[in-house]
Amino acid sequence: MPLDPFFADRLQRQRRHMIAQALEGLKRRFGWPWFMRPAEEAAVRSAPAAEKGRARAAARVEVRSKAEADRPRPSTRRAEHRRIALSWDRAELGKVGTPGPDVHTIERVVPVPGHPDVRVRVYYPTVGGRPEAPVPATLTFFGGAFRIGGIDYPTTDAANRRRAADAGVAMVAVDYALAPEHRFPTPVEQGHAALEWLFAHADELGLDAARVGVAGMSAGGNIAAAVALMNRDRGRLPLRLQLLEVPVVDLTGRHIDLGATRGLGIPSLIMVRELRSVASTYLGRRADARHAYASPVRAESLAELPPAVILTAQYDPLRGDGAAYAAALHEAGVDATAVQYLGVTHDTAIFTGVLASARRWHADVVAALRTLHDA
């Protein structure tokens, strides 16, 4: 199916940016890391000075949580990219997204043995307080190539609010530490600690420990799948669902589908460079890509994992990862469903304000979350 016309202008800017970055990398021999998705990086380069100033000012007055305070400071350049990415994300919500409803939220800081504490935010499907009766819950992980993003990003926050309200499920968002300041396996260990915390405190949180799932988008899908594996290997808490959206589940790159990239008119070598950059930033050591908690599809066994719903996009090189993981789960006897959305790209889910496919995506996510009510 042809690419949806909505993406035409974005694709043109993405191609220009990626080619420019590749040429710059050749000039510098090894290039420099990309700390955001191509569209976000383009926004950094073109952002008005006033917008950059506002992003810096907002960052200076932001109150840092204990979990954030314990983390090493990013480099000046990396911090600037993240501030601008946050500003870009805020603008995207206003232009192409859908604001989230005013649901009740609470925040906690979860200790993680041997790693930095992690902040979590619980989004209840109610307003003004927690529900009267325990509700199902889903531990969820944001996307951002392991190196940008967070639970405070406006599109992420809005999605969690809408999903909680529409599905009647508490979304427990994990603000895992970013690479390269904190590499693998820190985010996975933080995710697993948050899962154990959720079960241990379910009663006081108003959550139903018998109806819990995990979810994640892109890099967050990797972490969600890894947490499900780690839970099976360590504690076997009763998870009922894996909801994985455009997940990357093999950081060796074996399942990357460059046919999607060619369909966008982006040279394969340029996309390979981007994907390798993501993996190297998160892992540090190339050998770690073969570890099951870094590349869940490479696990020796995927048996006894919770049922999975996997959503992929036609014009996304990660579509091969999602399809391969669904097939591997099915072969291991796990109930797994994979759906590919035609004519759309990796970030489709954020465009609910302007794109019918994104609204369909949201509806399908909500339908998957609602299965927890029947668990």
DSSP 106-123: EEEEEEETTEEEEEEEEE
Domain encompassing residue 145: 5-374
Q: Is 115 a catalytic residue?
A: no
Task: Identify the active-site residue in 17, 115, 218, 321.
Answer: 218
Task: Identify the active-site residue in 17, 115, 182, 346.
Answer: 346
Q: Is 70 a catalytic residue?
A: no
CATH of the domain at 48: 3.40.50.1820
Task: Identify the active-site residue in 4, 208, 316, 321.
Answer: 316
Residue 250 to residue 248: CA distance in whole angstroms: 6
Residue 8's pLDDT is 79
Cα–Cα distance list, 371 to 125, 252, 333 (Å)? 15, 33, 19
Q: Kind of pairing, strands 239-245 and 308-315?
A: parallel
Q: Is 346 a catalytic residue?
A: yes
Look at residues 359, 164, 324 and name the one whose alpha carbon lies nearest to residue 244.
324
Distance of CA 234 to the CA centre of its chain: 24
322 Cβ contact partners less than 8 Å away, ≥ 6 residues apart: 244, 246, 247, 249, 310, 311, 312, 338, 340
Grouped pLDDT means (10 residues each) for the chain, 375 residues: 87 68 57 41 46 46 45 79 94 96 98 98 94 96 97 98 98 98 98 98 98 98 98 96 98 94 86 90 94 98 98 97 98 97 96 97 98 91
Helices 186-200, 219-234: axis angle to 10 degrees equals: 60
Strands (E), the chain: 105-112, 115-123, 135-141, 170-175, 207-217, 239-245, 308-315, 336-345
Residue 186's pLDDT is 98
Residue 60's pLDDT is 41
Distance of CA 174 to the CA centre of its chain: 10
Q: How many CB atoms lie within 10 A of CB 91?
A: 14
Residue 38's pLDDT is 41
Q: Computed from CA positions of residues 125, 131, 136, 140, in that sequence, does the dihedral angle turn out positive or negative?
A: positive
263 Cβ contact partners less than 8 Å away, ≥ 6 residues apart: 3, 314, 315
Residue 41's pLDDT is 42
Residue 269's pLDDT is 85
Residue 187 to residue 265: CA distance in whole angstroms: 34
**Eight-class DSSP state of 128:** S
Domain count, the chain: 1
The string over 303-318, giving b where at least 16 C-beta atoms fall within 10 Å of a residue's C-beta and e elsewhere, is eebbbbbbbbbbbbbb
